[in-house]
Amino acid sequence: MIERYAREEMKKIWDLQSKFRYYLNVEIAVAEAYAELGTFPKDDVEELKKKAKFDLKRIDEIEAEVRHDVIAFLTCVNESLGSLARYMHVGMTSSDVIDTAFALQIQDSGKIIVKDLDETIQSLKELANKHRNTVCIGRSHGIHAEVMTFGVKICSWIDILERQRANFIHALDEINVGQISGPVGTYSNIPPEVEQITCKNLGLRPARISTQIIARDYHAYFMQSLALIASVIEQFATEIRHLQRTEVLEVEEGFGKNQKGSSAMPHKKNPVLSENLCGLARVVRANSIAALENIPLWHERDISHSSAERIIFPDSLTLVDFMLSRFNGIVQNLNVHEKNMLKNTDKFGGIVFSQKVLLKLIEKGLTREEAYRIVQRNAIDAFENDGDFRVNLLNDEDVTKLLTPVEIDEIFNKEEFLKNINTIYSKILDL
């Protein structure tokens, strides 16, 4: 984890102290399961719960000697237990502890991500409601297309993010599995009932089958959901960056009173927050590829996945948490320049009304090909010569013999583009 991008709540889940705390919770839960089955004395297990502790420095000392982090952890804990240590790690393998604790870390992290998503979606809904009727230009291929509203643009973001929320919750539920099955997953030295009780008490489902580890397609699927969230945030951030360009200037990120945009050029207000999000999205996507490559392990297990997971899971969860929080802040502080939006719709005398002119001429009896030719030449002339499309139409005999000036004026009515805005909103916000 990079401190710069780590928020405190998420960071605490993935620091070393927390990792070993999760390990200890799993070990205690297993001992309690044995006690519930009558294998271990309940009083001894209760005493174990009270006495069990670990020290990071001591774990490091032991690991330097034994070269095994779980053994180092267990040795350290056992030093605090005395004779009670005989109830620790009975019939288990290291992966039982690691993978089950890992699932708990992921679940706790996932709750934070869901909260982030909910807060961001709510901010987008507020922005969409505010700009339901804020006229702006829609673009295809980066080129002016037709008139829409800024609120409709934001509605599309809400739809995307709500879909990713549903995807993420499904992935989080899929990975909500633990294992307490012993070496190569055969329960040779541990009753399957211990696994069932342990997982139930920890809020997990027992894996249907494990081969000493939980299959890594679970983890890859979860990482893909994080990559999708990061990628749609990049989609939104990229749009903001385009709209903040000087020659467009329809929106701007909030800019602090004492903020500076450039060490050399005092006039600069750069979309640095959005640019940052685009860069971080690339990291999360790259991490998801590593998760896919973790799937094909040797036989029943190896540890080639482990080194990668120590990096990609804390980093990706931390980054997505940060990205959602940052993007939420961008949305809440976004400056929307409505006058510029309106001005951009009127460029070149309203060439974006070309389809409406086309359809009107067809209605008057022209073939589509004839109408298209007439409209296109007038529109391109306005575009290439910084002219006025509406004026061009008024001066074109092929047009005026079919349409009166009043009819042409009626075509150039932005409200016609917006007549179904409420229908769109009814599907996204007004449910």
> What residues are annotated to the active site?
141, 262
Taking every pair of Cα atoms in the chain, the longest distance, rounded to a whole number of angstroms, is 103
Q: How far apart are CA 376 and CA 380, in angstroms?
A: 6
The residue assigned the tokens 């009107």 is 360
- Would residue 269 be called left, alpha or beta, if left means φ above 0 and alpha means ψ between -120 and 50 degrees? beta
Strand intervals (E) in 110-250:
135-140, 143-149, 177-178, 205-206
Could you tell me if 168 and 141 are in contact, meaning their C-beta atoms sit under 8 angstroms apart? no
The residue assigned the tokens 């089950």 is 100
Could you tell me if 25 and 202 are in contact, meaning their C-beta atoms sit under 8 angstroms apart? yes
Pairing of strands 143-149, 135-140: antiparallel
**Single-letter residue type at 136:** C
SS (H, E, C) 2-53: CHHHCCHHHHHHHCHHHHHHHHHHHHHHHHHHHHHCCCCCHHHHHHHHHHCC
If one counts every other C-beta atom within 10 angstroms of the C-beta of residue 264, the result is 6
**Single-letter residue type at 335:** N
Residues paired with 149 in a beta bridge: 135
The residue assigned the tokens 């994080």 is 226
If one counts every other C-beta atom within 10 angstroms of the C-beta of residue 16, the result is 11
The residue assigned the tokens 């309203």 is 350
Candidates 21, 12, 100; CA nearest to 53 is 21
